[in-house]
Structure formats: structure tokens, C-alpha cells
Amino acid sequence: MKVLIINGPNLNLLGTREPEIYGTVSMTDYLETLKTEFSSFELYYYQSNIEGEIINRLQKDDFDALIINPGAFTHYSYAIADCLKNIRKPKVEVHISNIYKREEFRQKSVTAANTDAVLSGFGMDGYRLAILSLKS
């Protein structure tokens, strides 16, 4: 199964960005761990700070399942939400922090309704849990 992991804005800074919230592991390092643990999956990763680039990547439709952390786009990108609505493949939204324990504006996801599941607050392990959910 080909799984595409997409991260939105500022998640290129994982490992250095607010380590008390997001931890100290970079996505590059964590992705290697995931590839080792889930060697039966083809894991692909894409990150962009630009909404349209994320939509363009999603519309390539060259994956079997999707794990997406839209970052700040979670809270206001109806364009990404509409794009997700048109994807008829397994989709899991992941948030490293518990968005419901953060600022009020972060507590609403406009994208979640167009995914099959949401994982929030499990740290980087949310990506691992999302892959596990795809195994069943």
C-alpha cells in the first residue's frame, strides 16, 4: 500500500519549532523510523507551507491512503477541505499536539469532517498510529 503523508505550514521545522509542544525529533528522522517499522508499506512524504501546493499534491491521486497534518490550514482552509472531500481513499488527519487543549482558534478543524479519523495529542506517534489504522 502506498501511503502519502502530507504536512502543512511550519511543520518543516519539526525538531526545532516549539519543542515543548512538538518535540525534538525532525520529521526526516521520524520518517526513517516509520519506514523501518512499516517496511511492507510504501511511505511517501510531502510538506509545503503553501496551500495551493498541498492541493496540487493531493490531486495527483498517486497513493492508496493519506495521512495529513494540515497544520494551521486545519482551522480555515476550506480549499483543502473541499479537496479532501473528493478523495475516495482512506484518510487520517493527524495533529501532534492536542488541539483541544490549545488556543480557541486551534480547537476547530474544518478539514476533519472530510477524513475518516482524527488523531490529536499523541505527539509524533500519531503518524505511527495512523499507519496502524490503515493495516486493518
- Please choose, from the candidates 19, 35, 43, the residue with its C-alpha nearest in 3D space to the C-alpha of residue 123: 19
For the whole model, what pTM was predicted?
0.94
Tell me which of 30, 46, 95, 100 is the catalytic residue: 95
95 tagged catalytic: yes
Which residues fall within 8 angstroms of residue 95, CB to CB, at 6 or more apart? 69, 74, 118, 119, 120, 121, 126
| Per-residue pLDDT of the chain in tens (136 residues, 90 and over written 9) | 999 999 999 999 999 988 888 889 999 999 999 999 999 999 999 999 999 999 999 999 999 999 999 999 999 999 999 999 999 999 999 999 998 877 677 768 999 999 999 999 999 999 999 999 998 6
Give Cα 69 distance to the centre of its chain.
2
- Which stretches does DSSP call E strand in 38-104? 42-47, 65-69, 91-95
Catalytic residue chosen out of the listed positions 22, 76, 78, 100? 22
> How wide is the angle at C-alpha 8 spanned by C-alphas 92 and 112, nearest 5°?
35
